[in-house]
Amino acid sequence: MLGKRARLLLAAAIVGAALFLVLRRNHPPAPPTAAPPVPGQESEHGAGIDHAMAAVLAMQNAPEGATPCETAYNAFKASKDVSDKQDVKAVVLSLVPRDEFLTRCADLPPQTQLCLAPHYMWQHRAECRGASPGGANLSGMVELLRRTEPTAVEGQ
């Protein structure tokens, strides 16, 4: 015959096994896990964002020029070309021919020339805040899409 201790261990094992089976049966199955992203494969959502921002990305990825003015022109031209060809929202609405842009840009102060290049301006926002030319200095050279603030609703 089994001793008192052995009977307690056997009873505990039977209760434990029964509890395991009951809990396992009532436990919902694990939800299917999404497949991990495949390296190098882009999501549909990400591709949509890239398409919508194509004109901005073109500015960011435009080649450097020999001068800050040429770098700025390359960025504006790349953005305009992308928006014209890919039917995306334009950032550069109009741009004068290259030679005219470079001539007019060369007449601007050196810091302003640097800050015309979007890549430089994005990295040096504080410096460029005071050096960026106003609309009058750029009028006739390049017309950019302006960010507009929401207007207040009347009566509020």
Quote the pLDDT of residue 98. 94
Instruction: Select from 54, 57, 108 the least CA-distant residue to 142.
Output: 108
Are 71 and 114 in contact by the 8 Å Cβ rule? The answer is: no
Q: What is the mean predicted confidence (pLDDT) over 22-37? A: 61
Q: What is the mean predicted confidence (pLDDT) over 68-94? A: 88
Instruction: Select from 138, 136, 132, 131 the least CA-distant residue to 94.
Output: 138
The pair phi, psi for residue 155, each rounded to 5°, is: 90, 0
Quick check: 142 pLDDT over 70?
yes
Q: 2: Cβ–Cβ under 8 A, 6 or more apart, which residues?
A: 10
Quote the pLDDT of residue 70. 94
Quick check: 71 pLDDT over 80?
yes
The model's pTM is: 0.62
Mean pLDDT of the chain: 76
Q: What is the mean predicted confidence (pLDDT) over 55-68? A: 87
Q: Specify the residue for token string 């509020």.
A: 156
User: 102 pLDDT band (50/70/90 cuts)?
Assistant: very high
The larger pLDDT score, comparing residue 50 to residue 74, is at 74
Quote the pLDDT of residue 32. 64
Quote the pLDDT of residue 136. 43
User: 29 pLDDT band (50/70/90 cuts)?
Assistant: low
